[in-house]
Structure formats: C-alpha cells, structure tokens
Amino acid sequence: MKKIVKFLTALCGFLALPTMAEYRTFTDANITYGIFHAKPEEVRLHWRDSEGQNYHSLTNLKRALQKNYQIKMLMNAGIYSKNNTPAGLWIENSQELNPLNKKRGKGNFHVQPNGVFALVGKMPYILTTNAYQKKRLKPTFAMQSGPMLLIEGKINRQFRADLESYHKRNAVCLDKQNRLFFILTTSGKPNLYTFSQGLQKIGCYQALYLDGTISDWYIPNMFNSFHWHHFVGMISVTEMDKK
C-alpha cells in the first residue's frame, strides 16, 4: 500500500508540471504557484545595458527588449548586494561580470547549500555551488542564488516546517526530464519549507530560491510590468520579433 501511495504522489507531482502550455497554476495548502515553462534557448540574464547602466526594473527591461523581441516573460533573478550588484556569480553572453561567492554571511543567500542556475547552450543546470565549481562548466548565462530548495527531489535539510518566515517567493527549477520552469507564488505566503514542499508536489527535482517579498514577473496579458520594486539582475524569456 505504501508503495502505491508513493507512486501516486510522484505521478501527481509529475503531472502538475505543464508539457505544452507555457503558463499554468497549482494550488496547495492555500498557496497558489504560477508556473512558467521556458525553453532554455529563449532564456537570458540581464543586469546592465550596453552603456553599463542598471536596468533597475522590469518595465525598463521590457522597453529595451521589445524593440527587437517578443517578450514571453520577465522576472527578477536572485538576491543582490547593497551596492546594486548580484550577490554571487553572474555570467552574461559567456562573460563573467561577478565572481562566484563562497563567503559566509547572513540572509537566505548564505543558507547552505546555495547554488547556481546555468545555461550552457540549450542545456540548463541547477547545481549546488560546490558541484558547479567542480563541474567546470562554461556557461553562456549563469547566476548564483540561494538557498537550494530541492536537491535531487529532496528538501534542503536546513529548513524547518515551523519556521516563522512567510513571504512571497520565486524560484527556478528543473524536473527529472530536465525541463525548465520559473515559479512565483501568486497568492499566499509560504516559508522556505512549505515553498519547497509545494515545488516537490509540482514535480521539481532540482530547485533554486531566487528571492522573497519583492519577487515579481511580467507575462503579457496576465501580469503587468509596472511595480515599485527595485531589481538588479533579471531573467527574460523571449523570441526574435518576426515582424
């Protein structure tokens, strides 16, 4: 009986992730998760424009990209430092703009293990920081954030179910088929444990925390790009404008 229950639970989690549709939702324990399925080849990272100026907001990034691209989604990408730089590794177009950060510190970024989301051509990776360092990848795009939420389907051992830290949250995840998803809580405020548990049920296998209260995204005709939050690094999912 236990084996049957485990199988059905795993099957429900697997089926929760979309196969064709780019966007869907999943609700569990009064938390609703927006789930965006992205093609790795359409994903890029953005920190500064061609003149070296921070984009600062989804709206500014939208204005810059829509001149040449059809935008499918924009989202904030990971935790940043007080000096308006990414908290850890940041690679754009194969150029390292900020180094890997293995220092100890306070805050979610430093909860261990933290990790790296990397794109090597069309291949996406979510690895712990140590695993990323050992693998010696040469990413086209990469960003470091933390903590890792799921490692091979298991919740980070640092999290407690009774932790009183309830916030809006977003994450990037890969399922067992290595399909790429960006996830944002659109209603309800989970703690890190509950958030990770929700991602498990959705079907995530490797998952990296991006940020908390300020997290937001833009999806045309669904979520507006205008907001009051200041961002540093951001993620885009786009395709070339065919006009």
Total number of domains in the chain: 1
Prediction pTM value:
0.91
Lowest-confidence range among 72-86, 105-119, 130-144, 217-231?
217-231
Average pLDDT over residues 203-209: 98
Tell me which amino acid residue 156 is: N
In this prediction, residue 13 carries a pLDDT of 45
Calpha distance 79→84 (Å, rounded): 10
Q: Where are the beta strands (DSSP E) in the chain?
A: 23-28, 31-38, 43-46, 69-76, 90-92, 95-98, 115-120, 123-128, 141-145, 148-151, 154-155, 170-174, 180-187, 206-211, 217-218, 234-240
Query: For residue 195, what are the contacts with CB-CB under 8 A and spacing of at least 6?
Result: 31, 149, 169, 171, 185, 209
Q: Does the residue 31 lie in any domain?
A: yes
pLDDT of residue 16: 54
221 lies in a domain?
Answer: yes
In a domain, 14, yes or no: no
Provide the pLDDT for residue 241: 72
Burial category of 52 from C-beta neighbours within 10 Å (exposed 0-12, middle 13-18, buried 19 and up): exposed
Distance CA 166, CA 215 (A): 13
Distance CA 81, CA 103 (A): 13
What does the pLDDT look like over 38-61, one tens digit per residue? 999 999 999 999 899 999 999 999
Domain range holding 172? 24-101+108-240
Average pLDDT, the chain: 91
Does 158 reside within a domain? yes
Contact 90, 98 (CB under 8 A): yes
Residue 5 located in a structural domain? no
Q: Quick check: 228 pLDDT over 80?
A: no
Position 82 confidence tier, pLDDT thresholds 50, 70, 90: confident
Q: How far apart are CA 56 and CA 112, in angstroms?
A: 28
Mean pLDDT of 166-190: 97
* pLDDT over 70, % of the chain: 91
Residue 1: inside a domain = no
* Model confidence band, residue 101 (pLDDT cutoffs 50, 70, 90): very high
CA dist., res. 221 & res. 51, Å (int): 30
* 243 confidence band (pLDDT: 50, 70, 90): low
Distance CA 76, CA 216 (A): 6
Whole-number Å distance between alpha carbons of 12 and 3: 14
Per-residue confidence (pLDDT) for residue 131, from 0 to 100:
98
Query: What pLDDT score was predicted for residue 17?
Result: 58
